[in-house]
Amino acid sequence: MATRILRHLTGAATPTAATPTAATPTAAGPLGAGAVGADQVDADQVGADRVGADRVGDARFGSPADAPAGEEPAAAVRVRGLTRAFGPRVVLDGLDLTVASGEFVALLGRSGSGKSTLLRILGGFDDEVTGDVLVARRRAVVFQEPRLLPWTRALGNVVLGLRGTDVDSRGRAALAEVGLAGRERSWPVTLSGGESQRVALARALVREPDLVMLDEPFGALDALTRIRMHALLQELCRRHRPAVLFVTHDVDEAILLADRILVLTEGRLSFQAPVALPAPRLRTDPAFADLRSRLLAELGVQELTDVH
C-alpha cells in the first residue's frame, strides 16, 4: 500500500511546500534519486514531528524521539516489521532494526539482499512500504559516487541548501575538517576521487546530523585512498558522534570500522555481532580472523586456504 514519507533531505530548516530548495531531485541533476542531508521536508508530507499522531496507509514514519510512551528509548533508527516488495518479490521481509545514538553499525549482505533499499527507505526516498520506520530528524546520506554539482565549486557543494549568515564559515570549517582547507574554490572536475568523497563527507557533516548513512562510500577508491578515508571517517565520528549505518560488501572494512556488524539475508537480519576488538584493529589479530571467517560463512563465501 502506498504511503508518503520524508523525501527532500538537504537543508537545515523545514521549508514550506512552496519554497524551492536545492535538495529537490531533478532528472538532470547529479543528486539522482537522493539528496544529501538533514531534516528538510515539504509541508504537505508526513513530518517527523507528527509521527505520534500520523499513520499513513500501513506504515508509520517519523523520529524515534516521538515514539509513544512505553516503547523503547529513543535511538537514531528504530524499524519494526518493515516490508518492501517489488511486485511478487519481497526484498525486505518484516525487518526489525535498531541503531543506538552514536553507534557505528556496518551492514553486510549479498548483492540484491536489500541493503540499498533499506537506506533509501531510511533516507526518505522510498515510501512503498509497511511497518514502523522511526529515524532521527537530522540525517545525511553519503553515496558511493560523490554526486557533486559540476557547475558549483567545492564550498558551494558543501553548503548546498543551507541557510543563514554563517553558512560559508561553516562550510569552510567542514572542508578543513576533511583536509581540504584552501580548496573551497576548486571545481569538482579538478578533484581526485578521494578529494571528491571528502567533499561529500563535509557536505554531510556540516549539517550536524544525528544519523549518517553511507552506501559503499569508498567502493570506487583505490586501496591506499580507502585506508586514508577509513582513518578520516573514524576521526570524524569520534569528533561528531553521529550514529552511522554503513553499507559495504567489504568484510574487513566492516570489522575495522564498526561497533556492531549485521548481515542482511533475504530481507531479514540473519546475523549480528558486536566488534569487541581493541584499537588499533589489526588483521593479524586472531579475533579479527575469527570474526572475518564467521561473517564470510554467513555470506556464503568459502575462504581460500594455503595449499602446501
CA separation for the pair 183, 181 (Å, rounded): 6
Q: Residue 246 domain-assigned?
A: yes
Q: Residue 24 domain-assigned?
A: no
Q: Residue 6 domain-assigned?
A: no
Global confidence as pTM: 0.78
Average pLDDT over residues 107-117: 92
pLDDT, one tens digit per residue, over 62-73 is 666 555 555 555
Q: Residue 181 domain-assigned?
A: yes
pLDDT at 115 over 60: yes
Total number of domains constituting the chain: 1
Q: Residue 30 domain-assigned?
A: no
Q: Residue 13 domain-assigned?
A: no
* Domain range enclosing 158: 97-124+136-298
CA separation for the pair 206, 236 (Å, rounded): 11
- Among 136, 124, 186, 150, smallest CA distance to 30 is for 150
Average pLDDT over residues 147-157: 97
- Among 139, 160, 120, 142, smallest CA distance to 41 is for 139
The CATH number of residue 267's host domain is 3.40.50.300
Are residues 300 and 143 in contact, defined by beta-carbon separation less than 8 angstroms?
A: no
pLDDT at 39 over 70: no
